[in-house]
Amino acid sequence: MTGLDELYREVILDHYRNPRKQGTLSGEHVHAEGSNPSCGDEFFLDVAVTDGVVTDAAMRGQGCSISQASGSMMMDIIVGRTVEDVRDLTHKFKLMMSIEEGDNPVDPERPGSVLGDLEALQGVRKFPVRIKCADLPWATLTDALDQTTA
Amino acid sequence: MTDLRALRADFPILEREVNGHQLVYLDSAATTQKPQSVLDAMDDYYRFHNANVHRGAHTLAVEATEMYEGARAKVAGFIGAETDQLVFTRGTTTALNYIAYGWGLNHLKAGDKILVTVMEHHANLVPWQLISRYTGAELVYLELNDDLTVDVSSLDQILTDDIAIIAFSGMSNVTGALGPIDVLTDAARSVGAISVLDGAQLVPHTPVDVTELGVDFLAFSAHKMLGPTGIGALWGRAERLEEMEPTEGGGEMINTVDRHSSTWAPVPHKFEAGTPPIAEAVGFGAAVDYLDAVGMDVIAAHEGELTAIALERLSEIPDLTIYGPKDITKRGGAVSFELGDVHPHDIATILDQDGIAVRAGHHCAKPLMKYLNIPATARASFYLYNVPEEVDALVESLHKARKLFGLT
Ligand SMILES: Cc1ncc(COP(=O)(O)O)c(C=O)c1O
């Protein structure tokens, strides 16, 4: 596969074109906004947390295929998990994208076993300027979760 | 086609490869590449003449001063100006800020209006927003026509005596649309306002003679016209520069300094506080020498032909939307476009894999993006060293982007 084929996997384009959980939450929730001012990508996130569990989430915003797909995949994976679990996922995601120092937690023998669809974003690592696109929803998520524990 | 192909050999960077392909540089609206003569001039200055300017009696100081002031004469000559009406600044942005603070602060009052256009670069918006905050002046906008040129049809209603400044771009860095320079300078004069021309995209691409323009101030950047970063120019009519206060104080810009007050050096030096960018000025001088030798008429003709080819070839690509005038007489060589739902950043990444440099984003023109109701565009922009084959490469790579995103 060329770098570009690896970057623009089918599953990424699917999430880009059909992003999950678009919109806003109406019940009690926390809200966070993230943006990459240099490129104009924006990400708005509502997260509902009850008893330490993410019960629902909704996203809005606009941006490139990588930031939107990363956000959409994030929505798929976080709902129903404990905040602790979600923080651990965020850590693993950042390791996978080499945003944090440490070994890539993804198991090449069992694709999808650690981070699900999100593992398709590994191709982004070959395009260092785009890593911040993939990270935007996760940085916003961390902001949101920090409000729940504050 | 005006064939400037031989000039490519003067630009060392054009030989390099990017991602296994020969570089196709289509981002000159952001910054241009530099010819060997500019690199050599700066190198020669540092190797053989380096000294601080203006204060020294030693040989190197005299040579450095002559080179710095010589560069001023060249850049002034390039726009048909008197040498002492040309102020070196850090670039267009700094020049526009100098006008806003140096002229605006001591001339504007609450209720005054500053007229700008929706297509302005942030550099020609944010300084006016700041000055409005300090003075109570109000920022008002001219909207755009369908072809994204500035709509001056409502000018009669907008033009009142409380308009104090009309600030506008000679050419949009996003759409390529040329600004209505004559209309707006006349309008300014008719209500006693001053006119400020953002020439960042105009001066590099078109012959400009300030004696024919009628504007009060003109700002431009060296790095967009083959010169180095870190230097640009502010030109102003003599009486306007006299009316203007220095925005920065320090060495070089004074006449005398007492404990509690100072008097200023004459224009232009009163606006050049501190040690100036000397090597950059020398490089700027070499850049306008280069442009003069090629001829701005020739450059403008070449870019016009190349832009016409690009507009035609791009409009043949399915799903591609061009944002800007189609009429080549109303525009320059910055071509913004969208390709279906392929986000501009994705376009730029895909093109980069083929060694093609284009810019993606809001291009520091967020009010324009909002007006167009889009978050970003991809932009290809041309200069004297570009050739039609590079348009071919662009088109081919855009087809690749369509395929990768499954557009049919
Ligand atoms: C139309 C326009 N105005 C102003 C500027 C600012 O120029 P600089 O960044 O060199 O100060 C630019 C550069 O992008 C421009 O295109």
Q: Which residue's entry shows tokens 């996997």?
A: A9
The verdict on B286 and B302 lying in the same domain is no
- Say how far apart CA B140 and CA B103 lie, in whole Å: 18
- Say how far apart CA B295 and CA B224 lie, in whole Å: 16
C-beta B200 within 6 A of ligand 1: yes
Q: Which fold has domain A3-149?
A: Sufe protein. Chain: A (3.90.1010)
C-beta B92 within 6 A of ligand 1: yes
Percentage above 90 pLDDT, chain B: 97
Q: Band the pLDDT of B1: cuts 50, 70, 90.
A: low
In sequence order, the β-bridge partners of residue B218 are: B197, B235
Average pLDDT, chain B: 96
Please provide the DSSP assignment of B48-76 as one string: II---SSS--SHHHHHHHHHHHHHHHHHH
Number of other residues whose CB lies within 10 A of the CB of residue A66: 28
Q: Report which ligand 1 atom has the smallest distance to the Cα of B95.
A: 11
The verdict on B112 and B251 lying in the same domain is yes
- Say how far apart CA B264 and CA B246 lie, in whole Å: 8
| pLDDT greater than 70 at residue B2 | no
Give the structural domain span for B240: 39-292
10 Å CB burial of residue B130 (0-12, 13-18, 19+) is middle
According to the model, what pLDDT value does residue B382 have? 98
For the record, the structure tokens of B39 come out as: 């690199």
Of B346, B366, B404, the CB nearest to A64: B346
According to the model, what pLDDT value does residue A108 have? 87
The verdict on B288 and B300 lying in the same domain is no
According to the model, what pLDDT value does residue B408 have? 81
- Say how far apart CA A53 and CA A39 lie, in whole Å: 33
The verdict on B287 and B301 lying in the same domain is no
DSSP single-letter state for residue B90: S
Q: Name the strand (E) or helix (H) holding A90.
A: helix A83-96
C-beta B121 within 6 A of ligand 1: yes
Domain end call among B292, B326, B361: B292
Q: Assess if residue B33 is contained within a domain.
A: no
Concerning whether B8 is annotated as a catalytic residue, the answer is no
Q: Is B76:B241 a contact under the CB 8 Å cutoff?
A: no
Domain end call among B276, B292, B308: B292
The verdict on B261 and B357 lying in the same domain is no
- Say how far apart CA A134 and CA B60 lie, in whole Å: 53
Domain boundaries in chain A? 3-149
Which residues of B fall within a CB distance of 8 Å from A66? 345-346
Which residues of A fall within a CB distance of 8 Å from B406? 13
Distance of CA A100 to the CA centre of its chain: 15
C-beta B201 within 6 A of ligand 1: yes
> Could you tell me the CATH number of the domain that includes residue B194?
3.40.640.10
The verdict on B21 and B96 lying in the same domain is no
Q: In what order do the strands lie in the sheet with B86-89?
A: B86-89, B232-236, B217-221, B194-198, B163-169, B113-117, B138-142
- Residue from A141, A25, A4 nearest A77 by CA: A141
For residue B392, how far is its CA from the centre of ligand 1 (angstroms)? 28
pLDDT, tens digit, for every residue of B22-80? 999 999 999 999 999 999 999 999 999 999 998 778 999 999 999 999 999 999 999 99
Beta-carbon contacts of B124 under 8 Å, excluding residues fewer than 6 positions away, are B96, B116, B167, B168, B169, B196, B198
Q: Assess if residue B113 is contained within a domain.
A: yes
Q: Assess if residue B93 is contained within a domain.
A: yes
> Could you tell me the CATH number of the domain that includes residue B376?
3.90.1150.10
The verdict on B166 and B228 lying in the same domain is yes
The verdict on B152 and B17 lying in the same domain is no
Tell me how many domains chain B contains: 2
HEC letters along B98-126: HHHHHHHCCCCCCCCEEEEECCCCHHHCH
Its pTM stands at: 0.94
The verdict on B148 and B177 lying in the same domain is yes
The verdict on B170 and B267 lying in the same domain is yes
Helix axes A131-149, A65-78, angle to 10 degrees: 40
The verdict on B82 and B94 lying in the same domain is yes
The verdict on B64 and B201 lying in the same domain is yes
Per-residue pLDDT of chain A (150 residues; tens, 9 = 90+): 578 988 999 999 999 999 999 999 999 999 999 998 777 789 999 999 999 999 999 999 989 999 999 999 999 999 999 999 999 999 999 999 988 888 889 988 988 888 999 999 999 998 998 999 999 999 999 999 999 875
> Which residue among the candidates B118, B222, B364, B376 is catalytic per the annotation?
B364
What distance in Å separates residue B361's CA from the closest CA in chain A?
A: 5
According to the model, what pLDDT value does residue B391 have? 98
Domain end call among B271, B292, B313: B292
| pLDDT greater than 70 at residue B359 | yes
Instruction: Flag if A64 and B343 touch (Cβ within 8 Å).
Output: yes
Q: Assess if residue B265 is contained within a domain.
A: yes
Q: Assess if residue B377 is contained within a domain.
A: yes
* Predicted complex ipTM exceeds 0.85: yes
For residue A37, how far is its CA from the centre of ligand 1 (angstroms)? 17
